[in-house]
Amino acid sequence: MKKIAIIMGSDSDLPVAEKAINVLASYEVPYEVHVFSAHRTPVEAKEFTVNARQNGFGAIIALAGMAAHLAGAIAANTTLPVVGVPVKSANLDGLDALLSTVQMPSGIPVATVAIDGAANAATLCVEMLAIEDEELAKKLSAVRAESTAKVLARNRAIEQKYNK
């Protein structure tokens, strides 16, 4: 199975990155985690990215906050799918990172998820791998069915309480 790379711009992004790590681990999808910054370690970020396909990666999750150029800089150097996670920071609540990550020029896509939406970034990567992997597709369906059952149970509890 292809690996997923989780790249964060700073180790201060780790609490958000852990949401992606947990999802990938729950599907037993292989992954690597790295800290590479578009601004502070651009050479290392590029080096990792240009070799990612030949090193067995199928997609890259890039998390960064503030002037979040990491996902875009990674996308510039690979044709692997790049999923961008804008990370919330103190001053602008993540809107800065969201706009920096999502507004990519035509031809260099970054599939941007919600602010701090690392769990969805990982789920999206699992869905990409599941295009060619029946077992993974079955696991995704099972998790989706579990989530549906939970919400329906909560609905039943609310309906019983309020609808006499």
Q: CB nearer to ligand RP5: give 88 or 139.
A: 88
Q: CB nearer to ligand RP5: give 93 or 132.
A: 93
Residue 133 CA to chain centroid, in angstroms?
A: 19
DSSP calls for 107-152 = TS--EE--TT-HHHHHHHHHHHHHTT-HHHHHHHHHHHHHHHHHHH
Q: CB nearer to ligand RP5: give 87 or 110.
A: 87
Tokens of 62: 């890039």
CB of 13 to ligand RP5, least distance (A): 5
Residues with Cβ within 8 Å of residue 10, at least 6 apart in sequence: 35, 37, 64, 65
CB of 10 to ligand RP5, least distance (A): 3
CB of 148 to ligand RP5, least distance (A): 34
Q: CB nearer to ligand RP5: give 101 or 130.
A: 101
CB of 87 to ligand RP5, least distance (A): 5
Residues that bind ligand RP5 (CB under 6 A): 9-10, 12-13, 37, 64-66, 87, 89
Dist CA 75 CA 81 (whole Å): 8
